[in-house]
Structure 1
Amino acid sequence: MTQNQQVGKRKPGTPGALSRWMQQKMNARMNRKIRRGHGKFMKMDVLILNTVGRRSGQPRETPVAWFGDGEDAWLIVASGGGSRHPDWHVNLMAHPDRASVELPGRDTVPVTPYVLDGAERERAWKSITAAQPRYEKYQNNSDREYPVVRLTPR
């Protein structure tokens, strides 16, 4: 392999520059829609998850589909495709005390994330896949178990 081929090589499952650029543009557009009061994408409710970059310390805003879990809790799934957890999940777990959410027509709410496991995760997963069967398909095509995160107001 030549040096030029090595420079351009990236780990499997890592998106390329064009893919990252497109995702940033789509995320920014969705965030604007949510802030204008339109929080739906592909028939799913969407919120803006505010986190802090684990290495950079810079604020990050990511639109994420959510599912209700009681009156004051939101469930989100760290699917993101690929063989690794999405960046927002890693950032959220690195700085859980700095997380917040924005929902259409509501003020920003500071939240505490909690990764579900065992029976609690199974109950939530059944509820999520009943509402959106596509998540079951995504999960079946992945080599990792998707984390389910409950966000509760602080």
Structure 2
Amino acid sequence: MPTDRRLKTANTIHRAVLKFSGGMLGTTFKGMPTIRLTTIGRKSGRSHTVILTAPIIEDDTIVVVASRGGDPIDPAWLHNIRANSAVRVALGHGPDRPMTARVLPAGERDALWPDVIAAHPGYADYQAMTTRTIPLVTLTPLG
């Protein structure tokens, strides 16, 4: 399981690669597009940005997986969006735009999970590593 320090270090490096390459590098990972997700900390009230992969992008809807590498606990960004669904999202090296995050309820999550696995089979490995059901989140533009 990845440690908090390892996850934070990987995100810091990924953001730096995106920034210093002018978006030429780091816009995909393991064949999936990357996004920058900015949430508001549920305790601190400060902005927090993470780099995530998006196995499904359909029209203006982006699907992200709260896998945390198969860890038994949810990622901090998921707790933040449960407290405040207003987020900012940038696809690849593009500009941030305001979006709404929605954690899918069990039925919708279960219906979409096979599509996530079809897009990136590695998520099935993450699910097998943990007893929690890994949540799926949709990100949609405001309005």
Alignment TM-score, normalising by the size of structure 1: 0.79
Task: Show structure 1 runs of 5+ residues with no match.
Answer: 1-12
2:110 to 119, 122, 125: 122
2:132 to 144, 150, 153: 144
Using the alignment, how far apart are the partners of 1:20 and 1:70 within structure 2? 31
Amino acid in structure 1 at the alignment position of 2:92: P
Bigger strand share: 2
Using the alignment, how far apart are the partners of 2:7 and 2:56 within structure 1? 25
SS of residue paired to 2:95: coil
Task: Show structure 2 runs of 5+ residues with no match.
Answer: none
Q: Is the 8 A contact 2:52 2:64 kept in 1?
A: yes
Higher Cα radius of gyration:
1
Q: Is the 8 A contact 2:33 2:91 kept in 1?
A: no
SS of residue paired to 1:62: strand
Which whole-Å deviations, capped at 9, do the CAs of 1:30-64 have from their partners, x for residues lacking one? 12333432311222211111011111111101011
How far off is 1:21 after superposition? 3.2
Q: Is the 8 A contact 2:56 2:116 kept in 1?
A: no
Quickly say closer, same or farther: Cα 1:105–1:48, change in 2 above 3 A: closer
Q: How does 1:13-92 map to 2 (within 5 A)?
A: 19-35=3-19, 36-37=22-23, 38=25, 39-80=27-68, 81-92=70-81
Alignment TM-score, normalising by the size of structure 2: 0.85
Amino acid in structure 1 at the alignment position of 2:75: P
Amino acid in structure 2 at the alignment position of 1:136: A
Amino acid in structure 1 at the alignment position of 2:47: P
The RMSD of aligned alpha carbons is 1.9
Amino acid in structure 2 at the alignment position of 1:138: Y
1:93 corresponds in structure 2 to: 82
